[in-house]
Amino acid sequence: MDQNFTTLLWANDAGWRFWGIDNHDAANPRDFMSELNLRKKSEWRGFFKALDDLNEPTVTRCPNRTSQPAEVVTTVRVESQIDTHQIEVVTFRVLSEESFTKIETSIEATSLNNTDTLILLFDGKNNLTYRNAATIRDLPESTVTFQDLFNDPSASELLLKSIRKKGEVQVEQELNTRHGSCWHTVSLKKIVASTGNEFSVLVTANNSSRWHVAEQRAKDLAQKDSLTSLPNRAAMSAFLRELTHRKSSESYKAEFGLFFLDLDRFKIINDSLGHAAGDELLIEVANRLRHSVGEMGNVYRLGGDEFVVIFDGLAGYDELTEQAENILNGMDKPAYIADQKLRIRPSIGICTYPADGKSITEVLEHADAAMYLAKAERSGYCFFDAQMTKSHSDSSKNRLSLENDLITAMEENQLEIYYQPKISCQDLSVSGVEALLRWNHPERGMISPEEFIRIAEETNHISAIGRWVLEAAMTQQRKWHDAGLTLPIAINISAQQFHNGDLVEHVSGALKASGCEPDMVELEITESMLLGDTDQIQATLQQLSSMGIMLALDDFGTGFSNLAYLQKYPLDVLKIDRIFLADQKRSMLMGTILNMGKVLGLTVVAEGVENSVQADWLISRGCDQLQGFYFSKPLPVEEITLYLMDKCFNDNSATRSAA
């Protein structure tokens, strides 16, 4: 065929028969269009021009070549040279419109019907005109139009518009199958114009459901906390963005409540029992939160011991108070972790949108501020108040500044040790001293120990500080001993020091470096440190005790108050927390604790003695030693040395003072 598709240059016998033209002289070119004897010769020109544009093997329909109401379904290959077109008609069949349901081919029919790829052909009116065996197997019989193919009704129109514009489109779409809606990779191609502006669409589709399932699983994993299986921070952020966008687009004012929650004393439990036990506790907390909140809210874990609960549609004070109480009640029952009975104590900050924050960032920051206030006041939960904003911001800046300054303090020896005397109840003589860490900041003055020690623990500087305190305190005890003041010295041990595994080594090194005698050292530990690996704890305490070190259980009554500890471990001293004297209800238990100490053969020390009434009561009940401001506040080394020299060398008794 020439380049204009008007002159038939050559055809074989089958070609002459296909075109319906008598072969008078096959050697001479023929006027192809005039011999076809068609009324609409333009359709043939359009047909061949479309094939030339595609320039590849094509399955299509030819225009009618006879006056009969029939169509020719063909498989045509067009190979274009510079001036000619070679047309190969592989197979063809004349079919009526009613029976036109598939293309009969020889070799290619076998391939098409043995592939898992879905292959469909839709005519210019979007009616199905061909489908291969995979399509018959996978698609419902009701698929008779292009629109029937897609699960999304709007997809077909959008795709048709795109095909008209681009000619070829590849998309991921859900198709209606015999097994329900399934994702497929769908290729659509505009193949040949037949009449007017109509075109046919060749569709090939491969099932991609497995890939979509894997993608969805990956997405779920990216938005799920691996430990608790709760949605994570990313999922929470996505939900809040959706929620705030939806709320801002609604015609009415809508609100939601947000709880920011973390666990009190979780770090102590984690350090004492180990991370495995800490993880177990977090899983327990997550389960209790789910149960407490139910269908009312969405629970998220941000990380560590921080959780967020979002209540869509709940913003009233009474409603949110009820939910906070539900959570606290759900946490009230003790949890049994690593053979330990633990109390779960959460602190909850409550904030509402948009009343307490106009953005996601503000809402989270304000809920966090309310949570810290709840923790400080030990109130369980606290609603955000606008007055908190500045104080929370100032507190955060102050915290960051102190973290940096603490490093400088360690490098420049700004930390120092104060000493508070312990008084014997027998004769009111000084029976020992306790070493207490102090920080006299060059600009801020004295920093509260509760404040900077907590920072030291959270920034992992406490172990280094603890080692320095051990050696400095023992060195001072040796200096007093050499000066004739032989008094035992009590030194506090942090949880990190105790559980690092090298405490015995550090104590031994400090004794050797200072020359202090082991029986002049009393190490104070807290109840929380006795949680965890019982064998390791027992081994550590036993090694220290065998060295001659005295062991004291500090702050008894404020923690887990497990009486078994007093018999299980080699303890020498029981220190009763000051809260028993300050709290009238708890003071009723003081007598019981004193009697228990006597039975167990422990030296009992009462802390926080502030007046003569308390001192006399304790002495009458058989307490062994007293400590508190009534006798002396903690003093720097120069002042405590003068105090000790006065009490020990002059009258050998402690004069009571309201220092």
C-alpha torsion sign, points 14, 18, 20, 25: negative
Per-residue model confidence (pLDDT) at position 652: 46
Residue 647 CB-density burial (10 A; 0-12 exposed, 13-18 middle, 19+ buried) = buried
Assigned token pair, 575: 């220190």
CA distance linking residue 159 with residue 216, whole number of Å: 24
Asked whether residue 29 is domain-assigned, the answer is yes
CATH code of residue 330: 3.30.70.270
CATH code of residue 200: 3.30.450.20
Asked whether residue 352 is domain-assigned, the answer is yes
Q: Considering the chain, what percentage of its residues have pLDDT values greater than 70? A: 75
Assigned token pair, 425: 């109840």
Residues 176 and 41 in one domain: no
Residues 382 and 404 in one domain: no
Per-residue model confidence (pLDDT) at position 106: 42
Asked whether residue 219 is domain-assigned, the answer is no
Looking at 386, 408, 434, the residue that finishes a domain is 386
Residues 608 and 554 in one domain: yes
Residues 433 and 529 in one domain: yes
Per-residue model confidence (pLDDT) at position 525: 92
C-alpha torsion sign, points 11, 12, 15, 16: positive
Res. 298 pLDDT band, cuts 50 70 90: very high
Q: Is the pLDDT of residue 654 over 50?
A: no
Q: How far is CA 497 from CA 500, 523, 524, in A?
A: 5, 12, 12
Residues 328 and 468 in one domain: no
Asked whether residue 277 is domain-assigned, the answer is yes
Q: Is the pLDDT of residue 56 over 60?
A: no
Q: Is the pLDDT of residue 125 over 70?
A: yes
Assigned token pair, 545: 């005790």
Q: Which residues have C-beta within 8 Å of that of residue 111, sequence separation ≥ 6? A: none
- Cβ atoms of residues 384 and 354 within 8 Å: no
Domain that holds residue 67: 7-95
Per-residue model confidence (pLDDT) at position 212: 76
Mean pLDDT of 501-526: 94
Residues 319 and 414 in one domain: no
Asked whether residue 184 is domain-assigned, the answer is yes
Q: Is the pLDDT of residue 467 over 90?
A: yes
Residues 189 and 336 in one domain: no
Q: How far is CA 557 from CA 59, 201, 526, 530, 595, in A?
A: 88, 82, 10, 14, 15
Residue 78: enclosing H or E segment and its boundaries? strand 71-80
Per the structure, the count of domains in the chain is 4
Asked whether residue 395 is domain-assigned, the answer is no
pLDDT (tens digit per residue) in 73-119: 455 555 555 566 666 665 554 544 444 444 444 445 555 666 788 99
Asked whether residue 659 is domain-assigned, the answer is no
Residues 612 and 644 in one domain: yes
Residues 312 and 287 in one domain: yes
Res. 23 pLDDT band, cuts 50 70 90: low
Long-range CB contact pairs, 73-79, < 8 A, 24+: 73/100, 73/103, 73/104, 75/103, 75/105, 75/108, 76/51, 78/48, 78/51, 78/52, 78/54
Assigned token pair, 134: 């995979």
Asked whether residue 440 is domain-assigned, the answer is yes
209 vs 470, higher pLDDT: 470
Total count of residues recorded for the chain: 659
Average pLDDT, the chain: 81
CA distance linking residue 108 with residue 90, whole number of Å: 10
CATH code of residue 424: 3.20.20.450
Phi and psi at residue 67, to the nearest 5°: -85, 0
Residues 616 and 511 in one domain: yes
Residues 564 and 605 in one domain: yes
pLDDT (tens digit per residue) in 362-416: 889 899 888 988 887 778 899 988 776 566 656 666 777 788 888 888 888 889 9
Per-residue model confidence (pLDDT) at position 482: 95
Residues 497 and 642 in one domain: yes
